Amino acid sequence: MNPGLKLFLILTISLEISLIPNLTTNLIIISICLIYLLFKSISLKKILLLLIIPLFAATVVFITIYYFTPNHNLYHATILFTRIYAYVFLGAVFTETTSILSLARSLEQNFKLPSKFAYGTLAAFNVIPKIHTEVNRIRLVGDMRHYHLSFYSPTLYFKAILAAISWSNSLAEGMISHGYQEDKPRSVIVPVALTKKDWLIFSSILLLLQPILLLTK
């Protein structure tokens, strides 16, 4: 499926389940996403993390709704509990099956996203490993000077921000030196198609979701 259209599908489904409380829909979405991830050969370790990491937040929401509201409504508490997992699994379906590069190309080519935002997004994601390395280097330098920088230390983040600003200038200069101009048309090296099949899948999933969302509880 086209990456950009897949993103809009995930966002649309997430918006609908946030506006219409429906336990059955949440459970169906979680089950389908889980089956899809297994079909795509996602490792069991990642799936286990998807189940464990949101557990604390989902449990807190459940306890808050069930124990600390006047009605002590178990149904609504369960809806919110499962809704968090539905969001997590919908996000996992997208992130585990779609590359950032293909998404940026799709948004630029098929949905007219300005190239500066597409390339800016790619630059931000590609620089994440470099930021991680730089943070570790800053902490190591601090330890060598007997000045421990914890993960919540303002000094650590201030130094990392200064490094990021320096990288942004270097990146801008590099793009200009390679002929990038945001107000000029650019050629397409790898075209991303948006076919009738993509629209058919998009429409079919939404049409199938509506009766489940509106007619079940």
Write out pLDDT tens, residues 151-166.
Answer: 777 887 788 788 877 7
- Please state, in angstroms and rounded to a whole number, the distance separating the CA atoms of residues 160 and 152: 13
pLDDT given for residue 84 in this prediction: 95
Compute the average pLDDT of residues 62-77: 88
* pLDDT of res. 26: 95
Q: Write down the pLDDT at residue 187.
A: 73
Q: How far apart are CA 200 and CA 204, in angstroms?
A: 6
The token pair at 17 is 């389940």
Tens digits of per-residue pLDDT, 164-216? 777 777 777 777 776 666 666 777 778 888 999 999 999 999 999 999 988 88
**In this predicted structure, what is the pLDDT of residue 178?**
64
pLDDT for 132 equals 81
pLDDT score, position 72? 81
Exposed e or buried b per residue across 112-144, where buried means at least 16 C-beta atoms within 10 angstroms of its C-beta: ebebeebbbbbbeeeeeeeeeebbeebbeebee
Note the pLDDT of residue 181: 66
pLDDT top residue among 54 and 182: 54
Residue 121 reports pLDDT greater than 80? no
Residue with the bigger pLDDT between 100 and 150: it is 100
Provide the pLDDT for residue 204.
94
- Domain ranges for the chain, please list them: 3-106+192-215, 115-177
- 7 class by beta-carbon count within 10 Å (0-12 exposed, 13-18 middle, 19+ buried): middle
- Share the mean pLDDT of the chain: 86
pTM: 0.82
pLDDT at position 182 is: 67
CA torsion, ordered 68, 69, 70, 72, to nearest 10 deg: -90
Indicate the DSSP class of residue 146. Answer: T
Quote helix, strand, coil % in the chain, to nearest 5: 75, 0, 25
Average pLDDT rounded to a whole number, residues 123-128: 76
Per-residue pLDDT, averaged over 145-152, amounts to 77
Q: Stretch 53-64: mean pLDDT, rounded?
A: 93
